[in-house]
A and B are shown apart, each in its own frame.
Chain A
Amino acid sequence: MRKAYLILMITFQLSCFAQNKEVLYNFTPIPQSSLLNPGADVSYKFYFGIPVLSGVSANFGSSSFSAYDLFANNGINFNDKVRNVINNSSSKDKAQVNQQLELFSGGFRVGGEDSQSYISFGFYQEFDFLMYVPKDPAILALDGNRNYIGKSFNLGDLNVRAEVLSVFHVGFHKKLNEKLVLGGRAKLYSSGANATSVKNSGYIYTGQSAGTPNIYDQIISSNLELKTSGIASFTKDEYEGSIPKDIAHNTFFNGSLGLGLDAGLTYYFKENLQFTASIVDLGFIRHTKDIETIRYKGTYNYQGVNPSFDPTNEPENIFDEFEKAIPRDTLYNKYTTWRPTKFYSSLQYSFGEARYDGDCNCKGKINRKYVNAIGGQLFMMSMPVEPFVALTAFYKRSIFEKLDIKATYTFDSYSNKNIGLGISGTLGKLNMYLLVDNVLEYKDVSKANSIAFQFGFNFVFKDSED
């Protein structure tokens, strides 16, 4: 039963995450913002995250339906709800989940007190799930083909990928001058489990045309492929063990490895006009461990039974023919998957000079601080069907010297009224942050098309606090 819930939750409710962390992006009081832009203008003497609690994030999204649509306790028959959801979805609608848990992270300045070069590093676990609504196969399962004579049911609608991985990363960023910060990050991925079925094609067709010997033209053309790594051994009968434990073990110690790169920059046109851009997770994983690919490829034209009344003809077995035409192939080839690559950019205008920045400029530098900032952000992410794009407008304010807030308004395919709020505060050396997406939806989360949040705790040491 619990398993059934899990599968349902994963399949329907959580389908989530656009991975857009618009509140965290360029929210530089938080060290983790450099995970979204390695060239973010973040500075510290050194910092370290509280293990396991430094970066917790989850993001659920579904572009065409919410948990309420399916599971509301409102007396409407569940089958009708499923039907409504399918009818109101297109094969471009998707459900996503992304979850990240930072196990450890830290960073330090290199090259002395006047240096503005920083190294940061960390290790996090990530879970990704993306599924498009399999509209045509779902209609076929709900209704059958009787009322759809002449329609080709598109098997390309089957499109899903899921992955559990761990990521070890080391980044470097340097403030080259007052105008420019450049940064990069190298990543080592270790994928504990991966299932990818994103390049399917084919159709199931039932038609009727005059002059043919049969009542129907029935063709199944299939080019379906599911690639898995780190999963095949769980499906074997002789497997005895705990799947979560084994996946965790594989993720951290025995995964399929991959490499990735982040790069980014911050550029100040003027002191109060800032531009940033970054690319995150430009990388791949080479799946080599416990790999299994299942493929159904072929074309079958179903004619029905055809007696010839000729005793010399051997009787045919039509279903054997089907299995011959579209055999189930199991392959053991290594394969490569590309990480969902993210691109961020922002433009920010700051105003209102801070009064509390009262420390003397002992070093002779004039570091003006602004209280307010407004601007816009762009987010794009690669996806199997079409890239995901989101636009964000934001407002940032320093309430006290050590308390910053950020509010965002985001348009994307999940929602056009996504308001995000973030707060980052420092108590002594303890930096805490909580960022929440889609705050309007929290009055009834079950009706939300997407929900995202991040929170974490770090110890941050700055020069002035020495």
Chain B
Amino acid sequence: MKVNFIYRIFKILFLSVLFFSCSSDLDFDQTKDLKLEPVFVTNLAYFNVPATQLANSGGGQVLFDEQFFDAFKEKFFRDNLIKAELDFEIENTIIRDFTVEILLLDANGQILETDSYSVPAYSGNSNVIKYPTEVFENQRLELLKKTAKLAFFVRMAPGPALDQNSTGSLKLRSGATAYMEIE
């Protein structure tokens, strides 16, 4: 009852303003068109493996690690991500060839995608390789969104022996660019 009365007062109040005023045509439905399209950049992964961690007599060797990656657990992020790009950069100052493999795994450990990057041996010159951007759209993006873990393989090709005095390291830096569309 009281609330009704207050509503009525408000009506009177607003009407009284309308009587002696004009207004341009306003369209509040436009708010439905609101679409935010922010683009975020963020770190994805990095590592730094020193040659001493790879000491061996000259044969091939494989390092492996697996990490949780639960960015996509967030429904809001999953629902509004329309495109993603991953950029990888590897610097090798070890006198061996490498192949770095990055695997996207789902929550059950099933492989969704494997990306492989070959890295030439260090020969005294600058040895930083920027790999082409991995673009995730459509089907590939859907797979990316299922990612719950990242697995890393560092496969070292046979070559000169490495020991505790070997110098150099294998460094990975990577970033992600997330294209959002929020309506």
Tell me the minimal C-beta distance from B54 to chain A in angstroms. 9
- B38 and A309: CB pair below 8 A? no
Interface residue? A272 (CB, 8 A): no
- B42 and A248: CB pair below 8 A? no
Q: Which residues of B contact A411 (CB under 8 A)?
A: none
List the 8 shortest-distance A-B pairs measured between CB atoms, nearest first. A144-B38, A304-B43, A307-B65, A73-B27, A305-B45, A442-B21, A78-B30, A309-B63
> Can you list 18 A-B pairs, Cβ within 8 angstroms, ordered by A?
A70-B30, A79-B36, A101-B6, A144-B40, A145-B40, A147-B39, A206-B42, A218-B43, A248-B3, A302-B43, A304-B46, A307-B152, A315-B67, A316-B67, A319-B70, A444-B24, A446-B26, A451-B17
**A70-B31 Cα distance, complex, nearest whole Å:** 9
Majority secondary structure, A binding face: mixed
- A215 and B68: CB pair below 8 A? no
Checking A149, A248, A309 against B152 with a beta-carbon cut-off of 8 angstroms, the contacting residue is A309
- B43 and A214: CB pair below 8 A? yes
- A8 and B31: CB pair below 8 A? yes
Q: Which residues of B contact A303 (CB under 8 A)?
A: 43, 46
Q: Which residues of B contact A77 (CB under 8 A)?
A: 33
- B17 and A218: CB pair below 8 A? no
| Binary flags per residue of B7-34, CB closer than 8 Å to A gives 1, else 0 | 0010001001100111111111011011
Interface residue? A374 (CB, 8 A): no
Q: Which residues of A contact B40 (CB under 8 A)?
A: 144-146
Tell me the minimal C-beta distance from A319 to chain B in angstroms. 5
Q: Which residues of A contact B174 (CB under 8 A)?
A: 215, 304
- A141 and B38: CB pair below 8 A? yes
- A79 and B43: CB pair below 8 A? no
**A166-B70 Cα distance, complex, nearest whole Å:** 48
Q: Which residues of B contact A309 (CB under 8 A)?
A: 47, 49, 53, 63-65, 152, 154
Instruction: Find the A residue at minimum CB distance from B16.
Output: A455
Interface residue? B177 (CB, 8 A): yes
Q: Which residues of B contact A319 (CB under 8 A)?
A: 70-71, 73
| Binary flags per residue of B38-80, CB closer than 8 Å to A gives 1, else 0 | 1111111111110001000000000111111111010000000
Q: Which residues of A contact B173 (CB under 8 A)?
A: 213-215
Q: Which residues of A contact B36 (CB under 8 A)?
A: 79, 141-142
Known contacts A73-B27, A248-B3, A305 near B42 by CB under 8 Å = no
Q: Which residues of A contact B9 (CB under 8 A)?
A: 52-53, 56, 101
Interface residue? B89 (CB, 8 A): yes
Footprint of A on B, CB under 8 Å? 2-3, 5-6, 9, 13, 16-17, 20-28, 30-31, 33-49, 53, 63-71, 73, 87, 89, 150, 152, 154, 171, 173-175, 177-178, 180, 182
- Interface hub of B9, B34, B38 (most chain A Cβ within 10 A): B38
- Interface hub of A53, A303, A309, A455 (most chain B Cβ within 10 A): A309
Q: Which residues of B contact A316 (CB under 8 A)?
A: 67-68
Interface residue? A58 (CB, 8 A): yes
- Interface hub of B22, B36, B41, B47 (most chain A Cβ within 10 A): B41
- B33 and A79: CB pair below 8 A? yes
Interface residues of A in 404-420 (CB under 8 A from B): none
**A248-B63 Cα distance, complex, nearest whole Å:** 66
Interface size class of A (residues with CB under 8 A): 35 or more
Footprint of B on A, CB under 8 Å? 4-5, 8, 52-53, 56, 58, 67-68, 70-73, 77-79, 81-82, 101, 140-147, 149, 206, 213-216, 218, 242, 244-245, 248, 302-310, 315-319, 442-447, 451, 453, 455
**A461-B25 Cα distance, complex, nearest whole Å:** 46
Q: Which residues of B contact A147 (CB under 8 A)?
A: 39
Checking A53, A206, A315 against B41 with a beta-carbon cut-off of 8 angstroms, the contacting residue is A206
Instruction: Find the A residue at minimum CB distance from B48.
Output: A213
Q: Which residues of B contact A214 (CB under 8 A)?
A: 43, 46, 173
- B177 and A146: CB pair below 8 A? yes
**A13-B176 Cα distance, complex, nearest whole Å:** 37
**A242-B42 Cα distance, complex, nearest whole Å:** 44
Known contacts A5-B28, A146-B177, A218 near B42 by CB under 8 Å = yes
Instruction: Find the A residue at minimum CB distance from B176.
Output: A304
- A445 and B22: CB pair below 8 A? yes
Q: Which residues of B contact A52 (CB under 8 A)?
A: 5, 9
**A296-B36 Cα distance, complex, nearest whole Å:** 24
Additional 14 contacts, C-beta under 8 A, given A216-B41, A447-B24: A53-B9, A68-B24, A78-B30, A142-B38, A144-B180, A213-B46, A214-B43, A215-B174, A305-B46, A306-B67, A309-B63, A443-B21, A453-B16, A453-B17
Q: Which residues of A contact B152 (CB under 8 A)?
A: 307, 309
Q: Which residues of B contact A73 (CB under 8 A)?
A: 24-27, 30
- A307 and B45: CB pair below 8 A? yes
Checking B13, B27, B39, B43 against A56 with a beta-carbon cut-off of 8 angstroms, the contacting residue is B13
**A149-B16 Cα distance, complex, nearest whole Å:** 51
Instruction: Find the A residue at minimum CB distance from B62.
Output: A309
Known contacts A77-B33, A318-B68, A446 near B41 by CB under 8 Å = no
Q: Which residues of A contact B171 (CB under 8 A)?
A: 213
- A71 and B41: CB pair below 8 A? no
Tell me the minimal C-beta distance from B37 to chain A in angstroms. 8
Instruction: Find the B residue at minimum CB distance from A77.
Output: B33
Tell me the minimal C-beta distance from B152 to chain A in angstroms. 5
**A147-B34 Cα distance, complex, nearest whole Å:** 21
Tell me the minimal C-beta distance from A92 to chain B in angstroms. 24
**A310-B49 Cα distance, complex, nearest whole Å:** 10
Q: Which residues of A contact B89 (CB under 8 A)?
A: 215
Q: Which residues of B contact A4 (CB under 8 A)?
A: 31
- B39 and A78: CB pair below 8 A? no
- B175 and A215: CB pair below 8 A? yes
Instruction: Find the A residue at minimum CB distance from B5.
Output: A52
Q: Which residues of A contact B6 (CB under 8 A)?
A: 101, 248
**A183-B54 Cα distance, complex, nearest whole Å:** 87
- A244 and B3: CB pair below 8 A? yes
